[in-house]
Amino acid sequence: MKRKPVVIGIIVVLCTGLGIYALIKSHGAASTSGDEEATPTVVSVQTGTLQRLTLRRYVTGYGTVEAAPATADRPAAGAPLAAPSAGVVAKVNVIEGQHVEKGDVLMELNSGTATAEYAREEVGRQKKLFEQHNTSLKALQDAAAQLALLQVTAPLSGTVTRLNVKPGAAVDVSTVVAEVIDLSRLAVSTGIPAAEANELKVGEEAQVLTQPPVTAALSFVSPAVDPNNGTVLSRALLPADSGLRPGQFVQLKIVTAVHTNCLTAPEASVVADESGRSVIALVKGDQAAQLPVQTGFRENGRVEIEGTGLKDGDPVVTVGAYGLPEKTKIQVVNPVEEGAASSESSSAK
């Protein structure tokens, strides 16, 4: 027997064996891959619910608390007080933080020709003489006028918020010596960008974002734009018990529109799909199906939505909603609690 045919035969047998092995392995791998494709992917998500709420749109600004300005039927709630004449401060009768009534004498001055004490005694003497018909009304009025030039009196009932002088200080008619403010009549003034000011209307609700928040009412919207910063001066009157202080810097939101009983979704549930549309993943059984929606006002973690077939109470995916494939099998983990959401929650930008 020749060796060459034997070697050839062995090679043929080996090749045949390797081919059969490869075919079996390939078939097994294909079978395993098919099993994996047949097994659906389960995605763990968190969910929330759709709710019908009242949502609001706001214009936001920053402003300063100050005394309410004068109106057609009421004087200003605060006044800086200047010295009525040149002289030297002789006596200060009040301290900062003290409540005063309209007409109270806050301080007295001495001038180069008279002292407050002498002027006060002269008024008393002229009154007695006038009662005895021993002087004229004009003499009494002149004495009272002289005393008025040497006294700083409160023009309104309120609180002394500032004292700028002490006894012995020289003053003139341009010197602001004190300030009195009625703390029950305060306002917040803010500059709103002109592009947003068209939505503002007197009487609209304004929320001062302090702790706790304070609800006020818009009382003034300037018809002019400040050329220095492009803003429109707006003012909101504060309630008497606001607890705010003159000079305090605050943030406020002014309500410009209200949508009542609108369908809302948790903000995290509204995402963009590959085409850029806003969608939500509506939970149906153990699957989540994406639905396109139109969005509206936003605030406090809620978004106003409109879409076909959506209703109050429907569950939607929140955490895990972004990039969720269509009709994905899901497993809800730690569902989002929404009991804290108020049925009258505010909204919107």
Dig out the tokens for 47 from the structure: 């969910």
Residues 240, 264, single domain; the answer is no
Residues 177, 224, single domain; the answer is no
Q: Residue 291: is it exposed, middle or buried by C-beta count within 10 angstroms (0-12/13-18/19+)?
A: middle
Alpha-carbon gap, residue 346 to 323, rounded angstroms: 29
| Per-residue pLDDT, 25 | 56
CATH of the domain at 228: 2.40.30.170
Nearest to 116 by CA among 139, 95, 93, 146: 146
Structure-token match 């009525």, residue found: 84
| Per-residue pLDDT, 13 | 52
| Per-residue pLDDT, 250 | 96
Helix, strand, or coil (residue 197): helix
Residues 144, 92, single domain; the answer is yes
The answer to whether position 171 is within a domain reads: yes
Bridge partners of residue 264, in order along the sequence: 51, 304
| Per-residue pLDDT, 12 | 53
CA-based radius of gyration for the chain = 40
What H or E segment, with its residue span, contains residue 146? helix 137-148
Nearest to 305 by CA among 315, 296, 314: 296
Q: How many CB atoms lie within 10 A of CB 201?
A: 11
Report the DSSP pairing between strands 328-332 and 42-45: parallel
| Per-residue pLDDT, 64 | 96
Report the DSSP pairing between strands 278-284 and 271-272: antiparallel
Total residues belonging to the chain: 349
Sign of CA dihedral 319, 321, 325, 326: positive
| Per-residue pLDDT, 333 | 83
| Per-residue pLDDT, 112 | 86
The answer to whether position 195 is within a domain reads: yes
Bridge partners of residue 57, in order along the sequence: 257
Last residue of a domain, one of 206, 238, 258: 258
CATH of the domain at 169: 2.40.50.100
Residue span of the structural domain in which 271 resides: 42-54+260-332
Residues 104, 176, single domain; the answer is yes
Along the 349 residues of the chain, how does pLDDT read in single tens digits?
455 565 565 665 555 555 555 555 555 544 444 444 445 578 888 889 999 999 999 899 999 999 999 988 889 999 999 999 999 999 999 999 999 999 999 999 999 889 999 999 999 999 999 999 989 999 999 999 999 999 999 999 999 999 999 999 999 999 999 999 999 999 999 999 999 898 899 999 999 999 999 999 999 999 999 999 999 999 999 999 999 999 999 999 999 889 999 999 999 999 988 888 899 988 888 888 888 999 999 988 999 999 998 999 999 998 887 777 777 788 888 655 444 344 444 444 4
Residues 176, 200, single domain; the answer is no
